Amino acid sequence: MKKIIIFGGTTEGRSLSDKLVDAGIEHVVSVASEYGNEMLDTNEKRHVLVGRMDADAMSSYLRSEDFGKDDICVDATHPYAVEVSENIRRASAAVDTGYIRVTRDTSAADTDMSGVRYVEDIQKSRSILEQAEGNILLTCGAKELHAYCEAADDELKKRTYVRVLPVKESLEACEKEGIEARHIIAVHGPFSCEFNLAIIRQYGIKHLVTKQSGIAGGFDEKIRACHEAGITAYVIKKPEDVDGVSVDEALRMIGRPCVMITLAGCGMGTDSGMTQEVKDALKRADAVFGAKRLINALSHRHKYAMYKAEDIISILNDKQEYKNVVVLFSGDSGFFSGATKAYNEFKDGCPQARIRILPGISSVSYMAALTGESYDDAGIVSIHGHNSPEDIMALVRTIRYSRKTYVLLSGEEDVRKLGRALKDNGTQCKIIIGRDLSYETEELFVLDTQTALGFSSEGVLTALVINDAAEKRMLLPVLKDEDLIRDKVPMTKECIRHEALIRMKLKEGDVVYDIGGGTGSVAIEAAGLHPSLKVYTIEKKAEAAELIEKNIEKLHAGNVTLIRGEAPEALYELIKPDAVFIGGSSGALAGIIEAVHSKGSGIRYVVTAVSLETAEEIRKLTESSNISDAECIQLQVNEIHKAGSHHMFHANNPVMLFSFTY
């Protein structure tokens, strides 16, 4: 008989346990405290285990009860119990048993969130509240008390009221942290909006701290009470990676037989290119899934031309007799493969399944063997399925600075696109195309930049680009003013531009806004720092926008996107940035910064000012307690111009550079 253990004395854990009792399914419920035990009715189908356990203790218990691959661990702990969830995952993996994560809906249903302020953790709320006035109500539970109180001064504690469960453990935690007895509200929830409002008014609360605990935790009622009372609610953000299934879905999955899912890299596609391990997995398979060309030659009775996890899960739900399935991926499962994404989707969609990944031979390693050109010192790029002009330009940048570049292609059109881009960039290369590697139709084509323009050949293609004139990258890739087309459009001058980019502290993969693009000089220079940067330049004037387009094309800045429009309105549809440069705000500076901040915190800002009025506006903004690392420098740049037989200094206007994190 399948053994089942539910970790968590939460509402969800109790609900699932009650449903198992109703279905006559015997199981164990593990709760941290005697209070959790008291919340569960006695029943012969339910066995309660009381006491906190770490990963080792959990593993020891599961082994002592002979839990194995056909049994199930259900993680129904609180969404914020990240460490406990990780312990349960480790313990279930240690004994190779099934794992199901049950989560609650933490969204707020039609609740006015205008008075809500999100914070990273309880410590962040404390640092904010130390600067605020008025009484505070903590509704995060006794476990958060130490993190809140350990660096809190006596004045903050005197303003703090805590609402905790009416159990000895909670009261002892309050006493240990120095919370006055008359500031302890020990009562079992969840509570109505009216009850919350009564407490807020009774104790003169001005700030309420809570977790995003959903309907089960009375979250909506807390927020509504705060809104009605006109006070601020500080919501600790929900941790990442808490996706799972509902109680009803978990109940259905518990009755489903355990299945082994093997995600296998099958090499180039022919039997001779498969590893023995993959061949053995196919021999044992009840069903095989994969792209049509990968499964065509297989003799399996049950094979499906599909590779998306959601489609395969649907089949597995209908065909529960499949206990051992293989999903084939071309090449190597860990090399530009869909196997990793599929692994995560199967883990979420089939939590009780055992999933493993098998490696294969990649097209690059195969191509390297054919050409005798190693790939440990080569650039490796895939434009398979994402071959936009921006992707092609990113590839050309790699080729420009690499003697060898291996490229995964979508088809013959990619070869022509690459040839055209290399020609436009003035780069001459040898391009070796491998078609249908490992198949009977395998063939190598050797092209140059010109002949690549007319390349035509169907099949699965991989390229090796040899650039014997590869350049060395500049250690400081900066633009000179004369590199840009300017006309009569204002431009952030070279020295100012360089210093601004330094202060933006950009990192690989960052998203950047350049607001008030002008000639596009800041956006284009930023984009040139690294191909992984995604830069948006916002410009409202038609003349300037057209100039930016010309400069993007001239300087091959494929990772710059021009947004024609006026900030802040033009910003609302953009993704959250990591850094923002504001070179022109047209009097809307405060609105622009607030619009950007609405996307999230921790964003780095660099703002220029040439007038005292703008500088004073920025200075006032940076006085906010939520702004950190605020700095200001003034730059004065003088250029030397020839005047007759003399060389004279020509002074530019001084520019103030403000930088801060908000």
Q: What pLDDT, in 10s, does the model give residues 529-549? A: 998 899 999 999 999 999 999
605-614 residue pLDDT tens: 999 988 888 8
Q: Does 113 or 379 have the greater pLDDT score?
A: 379
The answer to whether residue 255 scores a pLDDT higher than 80 is no
What pLDDT sits at residue 480? 82
Residue 377, pLDDT > 70, answer: yes
d(CA 321, CA 315): 11
Lowest mean pLDDT among 154-163, 328-337, 636-645: 636-645
Q: Which residues contact 419 (CB under 8 A, 6 or more apart)?
A: 431, 447, 449, 450, 451, 452, 453, 455
> Which neighbouring-strand residues pair with 539?
564
- Residue-level pLDDT at 646: 81
At 106 the pLDDT is 58
- pLDDT per position as a tens digit, 303-345: 999 999 999 999 988 887 888 999 999 999 999 999 999 999 9
pLDDT at residue 1, as a whole number: 64
Is 3.40.1010.10 the CATH number for 260-348?
yes
Confidence of residue 574 (pLDDT cuts 50, 70, 90): very high
User: Do residues 176 and 148 make contact, with C-beta atoms less than 8 angstroms apart?
Assistant: no
Distance from C-alpha of 539 to C-alpha of 516, rounded to nearest angstrom = 5
- pLDDT for the residue 154: 87
- With a CB cutoff of 8 Å and minimum separation 6, the contacts of 16 are 6, 74, 76, 102, 247, 250, 251
Binning pLDDT at 50, 70 and 90, where does residue 241 land? low
Q: Is the pLDDT of residue 109 over 80?
A: no
Which range among 176-185, 242-251, 288-297, 445-454 shows the weakest confidence by mean pLDDT? 242-251
Cα separation, 230 vs 225, in Å, equals: 8
Separation of alpha carbons 595 and 613, rounded Å: 21
CB 331 within 8 A of CB 360: yes
> Edge-to-edge strand order for the sheet containing 205-211?
116-119, 232-236, 205-211, 135-138, 160-164, 184-186
Rounded distance, CA 291 to CA 263, Å? 13
Whether residue 408 is predicted with pLDDT greater than 70 in this model: the reply is yes
- Tokens describing residue 231: 């006070």
For the domain made up of 364-466, give the CATH fold. 3.30.950
For the stretch 590-631, pLDDT in tens is 899 999 999 999 999 999 988 888 888 888 888 877 888 899
Across 92-98, average pLDDT? 90
Provide the pLDDT for residue 105: 65
Dist CA 351 CA 332 (whole Å): 24
Q: Are 101 and 245 spatial neighbours (Cβ–Cβ below 8 Å)?
A: yes
Rounded Cα–Cα distance for residues 113 and 504 (Å)? 31
pLDDT at position 531, please?
A: 86
Structure tokens at 488: 């009569």
- Which residues, in sequence order, are bridge partners of residue 595? none
DSSP H helices in 372-520: 389-400, 412-424, 449-452, 494-504
Instruction: For the chain, give the number of residues.
Output: 662
**pLDDT over 80 at 257, yes or no:** no
Quick one: pLDDT at residue 470?
94
| Residue 6 confidence (pLDDT) | 95
Strand order across the 324-329 sheet? 303-304, 287-289, 324-329, 260-265, 354-358
Give the C-alpha separation, 591 to 429, whole Å. 50
What residue segments make up the domains of the chain, in order of their start? 4-101, 116-236, 260-348, 364-466, 481-661
Q: Is residue 584 pLDDT above 90, yes or no? A: no
User: Domain 116-236 belongs to what architecture?
Assistant: 3-Layer(aba) Sandwich (3.40)
Strands (E) located in 350-403: 354-358, 379-382
Confidence of residue 191 (pLDDT cuts 50, 70, 90): confident
CA 28-353-337 angle, 5° bins = 145
| 355-367 per-residue burial string, b: 16 or more CB within 10 A, e: under 16 | bebbbbbbbbbbb
Confidence grade of residue 352 (pLDDT, cut at 50, 70, 90): low
Are 364-466 and 481-661 in the same CATH fold?
no
Q: How many of the other CB atoms lie within 10 Å of CB of 233?
A: 23
Q: Using an 8 Å Cβ cutoff, are 493 and 519 in contact? A: no
Question: What CATH fold (topology level) applies to the domain 4-101?
Answer: Rossmann fold (3.40.50)
Distances (CA, A) of 599 to 64, 124, 223: 49, 18, 21
Q: Which of 449, 427, 436 is nearest to 409 (CA)?
A: 436
In angstroms, the CA 330 to CA 337 distance is 8
Q: Topology of domain 481-661, per CATH? A: Rossmann fold (3.40.50)
Question: Could you give the 3-state DSSP secondary structure of residue 313?
Answer: helix
pTM, two decimals, is 0.56
Work out the pLDDT band at 67, boundaries 50, 70, 90: very high
Euclidean distance between CA atoms 101 and 6, whole angstroms:
10
Omega before 257 within 30 of 0, i.e. cis: no
Q: What is the pLDDT of residue 184?
A: 94
Query: For residues 26 and 72, what is the distance between their CA atoms, to the nearest angstrom?
Result: 12
Is a pLDDT exceeding 80 seen at residue 104? no
Residue 41 burial (CB < 10 Å; 0-12/13-18/19+)? exposed
CA–CA dist 293, 174 (Å, integer): 65
| Per-residue pLDDT, 220 | 87
Share of the chain above pLDDT 70, in %: 97
Bridge partners of 608? Answer: 657
Instruction: Supply the mean pLDDT for the chain.
Output: 89
CA dist., res. 108 & res. 214, Å (int): 7
- How many CA within 13 A on the CB side of residue 594? 7
Confidence at 243, pLDDT banded by 50, 70, 90? low
Average pLDDT over residues 177-205: 91
Quickly state the pLDDT bin for 356 (edges 50, 70, 90).
very high
Q: Which residues, in sequence order, are bridge partners of residue 99?
A: 73
Distance (Å, whole) CA 386 – CA 417: 13
Tell me what pLDDT residue 242 has: 58
Is 489:544 a contact under the CB 8 Å cutoff? yes
Please determine, for residue 216, whether its predicted confidence score (pLDDT) is greater than 80.
no
| Mutual angle of helices 82-94 and 55-64, in 10-degree steps | 40
CA distance 349 to 316: 11
Rounded Cα distance between 398 and 447, Å, is: 19
Q: Which two tokens stand for residue 551?
A: 């400069």
Where do we find the tokens 């660099």? 606
Q: How many C-beta atoms lie closer than 10 Å to residue 140's C-beta?
A: 21
pLDDT in tens, 451-495: 999 999 999 999 999 999 999 888 787 888 788 888 778 788 888
CA 600 – CA 645 distance, rounded (Å): 57
Q: Mean pLDDT, to the nearest integer, of 252-271? A: 84
Q: How confident is the model at residue 353 (pLDDT cuts 50, 70, 90)?
A: confident
* pLDDT value of position 620: 85
Q: Is 499 helix (H, G, I), strand (E, B) or coil?
A: helix
- Checking if the pLDDT of 279 tops 60, the result is yes
**Which pLDDT score, from 0 to 100, does residue 256 have?**
64
Confidence grade of residue 240 (pLDDT, cut at 50, 70, 90): low
Residues 6+ apart with CB under 8 A from 190: 216, 217, 218, 221
Q: Indicate whether 550 pLDDT > 60.
A: yes
Question: Per-residue pLDDT for 657 more than 80?
Answer: yes
Residue 110's pLDDT band (cuts 50, 70, 90):
low
Look at residue 302 in the predicted model and tell me its pLDDT. 94
Res 79: pLDDT: 80
Tell me the mean pLDDT in the region 178-189.
90
Classify the C-alpha dihedral 542-545-546-547 as positive or negative.
positive
